[in-house]
Amino acid sequence: MSTIPLSDLTLEDLLPHRGNMLFVEKVLEVDSKHARTLCRPEKSWPMTDGKEIHPLILIELAAQTAGVCNGWNRIQTQGLDSNQMGWLVGIKKAEIFIEYLPLGSDIITSAENTHNFENLREVFCEQVMDTKLIGEITLQLFQA
């Protein structure tokens, strides 16, 4: 199977999220082991008071970035029309170094599959805003 370039894919091809629950704005880079995404918090996101967003949303940003990587890998190995079923996500560890996320800020999330066995992944994620580290999250993903 030939590789499908990222430029030929949409976010909806990579992730099962739709509408107001799709937080990734742009995929900056992706391969079978890692992804880097850009997200900009908006008023339409959950956990906002209209001025700022609770930082627990960083966990979902990490999960969606991990989903970009694993969605890209699924497409490359199984094809664009393969089952787009989501992953069950567990939080192994989360350290958040910010009190709130300002609306409109650029958040860069990097996710790397550190362990990969069949339908189980462990993913380490880092999040940066204005060159400042704001989160480190380790997720465990399982796909039934």
Pick the CATH number of 6-142 from 3.10.129.10, 3.40.50.1950, 3.30.70.120, 3.90.79.10: 3.10.129.10
- Lay out the sheet containing 107-117: strands in order across: 26-30, 34-39, 107-117, 120-129, 132-142, 88-96
Q: Where are the domains of the chain?
A: 6-142
* Residues 54-99: tens digit of each pLDDT: 999 999 999 999 999 988 988 898 888 887 777 889 999 999 999 9
pTM above 0.85, yes or no: yes
Percent of all residues in the chain with a pLDDT value above 90, rounded to a whole number: 66
